[in-house]
Amino acid sequence: MAITFRYAQNYQGIPFSLSMPIQNRPYPQSVVRPYLFGLLPDSEEQRKAIARSYDGRPYNPVTILEHIGLDCPGAIQFCPANYDVLVDAISASGEYVPLDDHDVSCRMKALADDRGDSWHAGGEHWSLGGTQGKFALAWHGGRWCSCQGSAATTHIFKNGVAGYRLQALNEYVCMKLAVRCRLRTAEVDYRLFEDEPALVVRRFDRVEEDVKTIRLHHGDLCQSLSVMPDMKYTSDGGPSTYDVLRLLSATGAQAHANLRVFTSYIFFNSLIGAPDAHAKNYSLVLSEGEMRDSLVYDAGDAGKSRFVQEGRLNMHAVLEGFRVTWEEVFGPLNKEGSFDEFDGRRQFLLYLKPIINGTGNCYIEAQTRDQTRTDVIVDYAGEQFVVELKIWRGPRYNEEGEAQLRGYLEHFGLDVGYMLSFNFNKRKEPGFKRVNVGNKVLWEEVL
């Protein structure tokens, strides 16, 4: 049976993934399955081991997550249609069972000795992606603890890739080197539990507030691009660097930072000869109205404040930010060539939606018969904005666009409108300019 997903009618929270922005229509299996399988181990053998433990089916992600989905990557939780379990998940209750070094050592040894067994211990309901053997614990009350029920894990324990001696130590050294190179990465430690070595990774999607562990929602790049985990490598048909750059260029206020971080890691992996760089190694933390790279999740909300000031959307700043981001990613417009105006519109909407998500919405109001101009209507916190996107084709054509926009402003009872012009004239003057059309004011941003 096909797996589809639809948001609840009044849902106004964080989207599950960049691949599933909030909308009323259901998402098809081609989008939903990559997201769900991205929450589970890549290893088919491990999924079969988990399924055996719960009499489930290894090829149905929903039936597996029904049993181990109370603590998933990100903030999403899955539970069966059971009132008590649902209340437990919502209240974040659960039990932390203390472990000593011997207990952890036994679990590390079990990973190495029998890779056909489930990574879980009794009562645990966490899920982790990836291929390496691993398990999740919490540092709670000054001790390592097994997380029972919906208790949130805080650290991941790994003993390295099978067949590669000291691989976990090598990963530790590489991650510490990344920190020395001023690249943001997860906190790691390498230590012995009795005689068993372990790479201990602090989860970047968990933060401590007082005595409570808060989950941060995120999605890896395979989930964000609707690519199944078994195609995470470019050589297997998975995402290319170009695919990722296009995705990150549409992450709104944090696009520039995201592009810089990702590009830095491309060079870092090349310099250290890392052979295992793939799309699941990178994640984007999602928050209401903003999306930012998981490795810089603590960078703050300064970017969004450029666009929303005292609860009001600054469309002038949005259009200016879009122009700057466009030029940083694609360069200045100099030659029209095969440029498709709808590409420009799509990029603008992808840039806009993370900024207004959760508070506002936008929709296409009208198109001319030849489909060369499109007006976008934005509703945000009770205010309306009309934005016309067009390609510059001379003063007369521009005046027609201004007159059309003035008509829209009359229709909506607005005094101010906005134009986004894609101008290929080499003598153009990029930036904002004010145009008075009758009793209306038009602000035009020129790329």
Average of per-residue pLDDT values in the chain: 82
pLDDT in tens, 377-430: 888 877 889 998 888 777 787 788 888 888 888 888 899 999 888 888 767 777
**Strand locations in 246-367, DSSP E?**
283-287, 290-293, 308-309, 312-313, 360-367
Cα–Cα separations (whole angstroms), residue 391 to 180, 283, 401, 407: 46, 35, 10, 19
Which pLDDT value is given to residue 303? Answer: 43
Q: Residue 223: which of 16, 4, 11, 14 has the closest Cα?
A: 16
Lowest mean pLDDT among 119-133, 184-198, 340-354, 374-388: 340-354
Q: Residue 81: which of 62, 94, 95 has the closest Cα?
A: 62
| pTM value surpassing 0.75 | no
Which pLDDT value is given to residue 92? Answer: 61
Q: Which CATH architecture has domain 306-446?
A: 3-Layer(aba) Sandwich (3.40)
- What does DSSP say about strands 218-220 and 312-313: parallel, antiparallel, or unpaired? unpaired
Mean pLDDT of 220-247: 91
Mean pLDDT of 285-293: 52
Q: Is the dihedral of CA 149, 98, 130, 241 positive or negative?
A: positive
Cα–Cα separations (whole angstroms), residue 361 to 12, 168, 205, 414: 11, 46, 28, 18
- What does DSSP say about strands 440-446 and 431-437: parallel, antiparallel, or unpaired? antiparallel
Angle subtended by helix axes 61-68 and 44-54, to nearest 10: 60
Q: Residue 277: which of 239, 226, 329 has the closest Cα?
A: 239
Is the model's pLDDT at 221 over the cut of 50? yes
| 251, containing H or E segment | none
Domain boundaries, the chain: 38-215, 218-298, 306-446
- Alpha-carbon torsion angle 309, 313, 315, 318, nearest 10: 70
**Residue 32 and residue 17: Cα distance in Å, rounded?**
10
Q: Is 370 helix (H, G, I), strand (E, B) or coil?
A: coil
Is the model's pLDDT at 229 over the cut of 90? yes
Lowest mean pLDDT among 285-299, 322-336, 359-373: 285-299
**Looking at per-residue confidence, does 371 or 428 come out higher?**
428
Is the model's pLDDT at 56 over the cut of 80? no
**Residue 181 and residue 264: Cα distance in Å, rounded?**
10
pLDDT in tens, 312-344: 888 988 898 888 777 766 676 666 555 666 667
Percent of residues in the chain assigned helix, strand, coil, to nearest 5: 35, 25, 40
Three-state secondary structure of 66-102: HHHCCECCCCCCCCCCCHHHHHHHHCCCEEEEEECHH
Residue showing tokens 């250290």: 272
177-186: long-range contacts (C-beta < 8 A, 24 or more apart)? 177/272, 178/265, 178/268, 181/268, 183/261, 183/264, 183/265, 183/268, 183/295, 184/261, 184/295, 184/296, 185/295, 186/295
Contact of 219 with 38, CB cutoff 8 Å: yes
Is the model's pLDDT at 311 over the cut of 80? no
